[in-house]
Amino acid sequence: MPAYAKLFSPLKVGGRELPNRVIMPSMGSNLADSQGRVTPAMIAYYRARAAGGPGLLVVEAACVHPSGKVIDRNFMAHEDELLEGMSALAAAIKEQGATAILQLIHGGRNAHPRLVGEALAPSALRGPTSHATPRAMTIIEIEAMVQAFARAAWRAMAAGFDGVEVHAAHEYLVHEFLTPYANKRQDAYGGDLAHRARFALEVARAVRGAIGPQAILSFRLSGDDHVAGGMGPAEAAESAKLLEQAGVDLISVTGGVYETPHMVVPPIPMPAGTHLDAAREVKKAVSIPVAGVGRIKSGAEAEAALEGLDLVAVGRAFIADPDWLKRAAKGDEGHTRPCIGCNQGCIDKVLAGAPLSCVANPWAGLEEQLEQLAPADNPATVAVVGAGLGGLEAARTLGSLGHKVVLFEACAEIGGQVRLASLPPGKGEFLGLVDYYKNALAELDNVDLRLNQKATVKTVCEVHPNAVLIATGSDPMLPDLPGVSEAPLITARQVLAGTAEVGQKVAVLGGGNLGSEVAHFLAERGHEVCIIELGLGIGNDLGPARRYYLRRELGKYKVRRYVRAKVRRLFKDKVSFLHTRPDGTRELTYVEPLDTFVSAMGAKPVEKIFLALEPKVTAIYLAGDALSPAGMGQATSEGARVALSIHRLAVEGKLAPPAAPTC
């Protein structure tokens, strides 16, 4: 039997036969323009994913009414003037042979107040993200919104899509009517499930009437809200029964609400298959196809997920590598850019109002540029110093474009700080990114990887480079505090690397991403840990899903957390800090006894070789922490961007050879 036999078997959904059982689900991209219109970048992004061969591609949520916008550049489908762009998008996807449907959404009480003003919802319950109270919809407004969904569905069909999906999960409007967590109405649209489901069923019937009998009608349904007072699998199954009777062809089961963000977009280290059990309960109740979802990112995981289900929805893996499914079919998954579940580019940036990106794939959202690249006729010689993420991506990109690359790495292995980042609990998957680059570089004969060779001005100049990229990373900073020279102070990196002794009672200075993860790392190993953080919260530089999960873990291990706390002095066995309480009162606070202090208070660029080479080399660049300490996403994107700049200069003939043998 061939590998992944069920995954690559056909399935009929509605009036269409799908070639395999994989759905690329709707994921917001912020690639539309400020008016919600399709852009060339958006078309190129979806064209690349369609070429990857999903059985069904669900285009990101298009808002059916201006009052429902959730993100800054929410794709819109609320008026006929949008049809031209929608048609171009549908055509680009279908040219790749994909079946494509358009998801329809209204944000309900989670519509962004900055974008919509007054939000609308079933009940006047304060929104968890907007922190504003919506207005409960009138019956007339409910009826009008049903028609707004139907008209948007008609536009989707007029544009050439093969059907639509209604978003009825994640605490958006249709789900808010369905779940008792958000619906407290006492009229015909509230109360028991039959009444709470009325809006969803009216939308389903109206949309079916608008798209016709042969088009696909899917519902994205919450299988479990994972919050007290919300829907669970039993009510989800009953809802699915009603939707099937209303003409729905497909139920795609997800879960979680804004108060449980780690369930909406499960971060590392949550396991694959977050919502499969709920989906299987729904499947038992209906005869139409049912799909499950939840951090599924490989062929093996997708095949396993299909037990008891008809389809599997795989989202972030398509962002990390549009061709992951094709590689799975060929048994070539070692060359797949892996989704590492960090959420930094695909979710966190979109929620912050920026276009989608990906730590593992810096070209996500930039496919229009990628389509225009071709190998250089006159390849350059490029020295890349540092084989962390920035240097690795630069070397891979330049090598794939035909340039000769010499990649210097002082250590015995590539990966840089990613190796340390993989050590906190549950983050071992980060090493998959290192394995990807190892495989990618091994296939490029024009990339000379020099391990255990610390670059110097002499060794770099001996390469006779046309351009140089410095990606040497950063060093941790130690706090400038009274008593620091006497205190048992080590760095977070030393803790993770195992190069320093750690006592039983530990104070972590700094409660950002690094400090929080080191505290989790130590607490899991039995240390008594406290975090002292100057800011207003722990892990505030993390996205909502990862932050929620990590704070929960810190609570489980009883890690004490002091926020609004400015460290004043370190002693041999205690620390003092100025603690500002939420009511504004201040107090000098001591924590004792302590055996070890761990500094997680920032980093500084390693730039010595850059400063030495800068006067000698015309085309010299910085990337990653060597430019300024930041996240993994900045490292890979900067490595790609520098590689692109060097490539363009080479194509234009503007990269002169070194002026002298010594650069």
Q: Where in the chain is the domain with CATH 3.20.20.70?
A: 11-368
Residues 521, 294: Cα–Cα separation, whole Å: 25
User: Which of 113-117, 171-175, 204-208 is least confident?
Assistant: 113-117
Q: What is the mean pLDDT of residues 70-85?
A: 95
Six token digits for residue 502 = 């750690």
> pLDDT of 274-303, one tens digit each?
999 999 999 999 999 999 999 999 999 999
- Residues in contact with 173: Cβ distance below 8 Å, sequence separation at least 6, in sequence order: 68, 105, 106, 107, 108, 120, 121, 122, 145
Q: What is the mean pLDDT of residues 604-631?
A: 95
Contacts by residues 395-398 (CB-CB < 8 Å, ≥ 24 positions apart): 395/441, 395/447, 395/449, 395/643, 396/437, 396/440, 396/441, 396/444, 396/447, 397/639, 397/640, 397/643, 397/644, 397/647, 398/447, 398/643, 398/646, 398/647
- Nearest C-alpha neighbor of 336 from the set 355, 323, 351: 323
Whether residue 507 contacts residue 597, with contact meaning beta carbons closer than 8 Å, is answered with yes
> pLDDT of 167-180, one tens digit each?
999 999 999 999 99
Q: Is the pLDDT of residue 659 over 50?
A: no
Topology adopted by domain 11-368 = TIM Barrel (3.20.20)
Q: Where in the chain is the domain with CATH 3.40.50.720?
A: 373-475+605-651
Burial (CB < 10 A; 0-12, 13-18, 19+), residue 479, is middle
Q: What is the mean pLDDT of residues 398-410?
A: 98
Looking at residue 98, its pLDDT comes to: 97
Q: Is the pLDDT of residue 1 over 80?
A: no
> pLDDT of 437-495, one tens digit each?
999 999 999 999 999 999 999 999 999 999 999 999 999 999 999 999 999 999 999 99
What CATH number does domain 489-601 carry, 3.30.2320.30, 3.50.50.60, 3.30.420.10, 3.40.50.720?
Answer: 3.50.50.60
Looking at residue 660, its pLDDT comes to: 53
Q: Is the pLDDT of residue 662 over 60?
A: no
Looking at residue 2, its pLDDT comes to: 60
Looking at residue 658, its pLDDT comes to: 59
Whether residue 225 contacts residue 179, with contact meaning beta carbons closer than 8 Å, is answered with yes
> pLDDT of 573-590, one tens digit each?
999 999 999 899 999 999
pLDDT class for 128, splitting at 50, 70, 90?
A: confident
What type of residue is 171? E
Q: Is the model more confident about 130 or about 152?
A: 152
Q: Where in the chain is the domain with CATH 3.50.50.60?
A: 489-601
Whether residue 137 contacts residue 122, with contact meaning beta carbons closer than 8 Å, is answered with yes
Mean per-residue pLDDT of the chain: 96
Q: What is the mean pLDDT of residues 2-11?
A: 92
Burial (CB < 10 A; 0-12, 13-18, 19+), residue 21, is buried
Q: What is the mean pLDDT of residues 490-519?
A: 97
pTM equals: 0.95
Q: What is the mean pLDDT of residues 517-544?
A: 96
Q: Is the pLDDT of residue 661 over 60?
A: no
pLDDT class for 663, splitting at 50, 70, 90?
A: low
Q: What is the mean pLDDT of residues 313-318?
A: 98
What architecture is domain 373-475+605-651?
A: 3-Layer(aba) Sandwich (3.40)
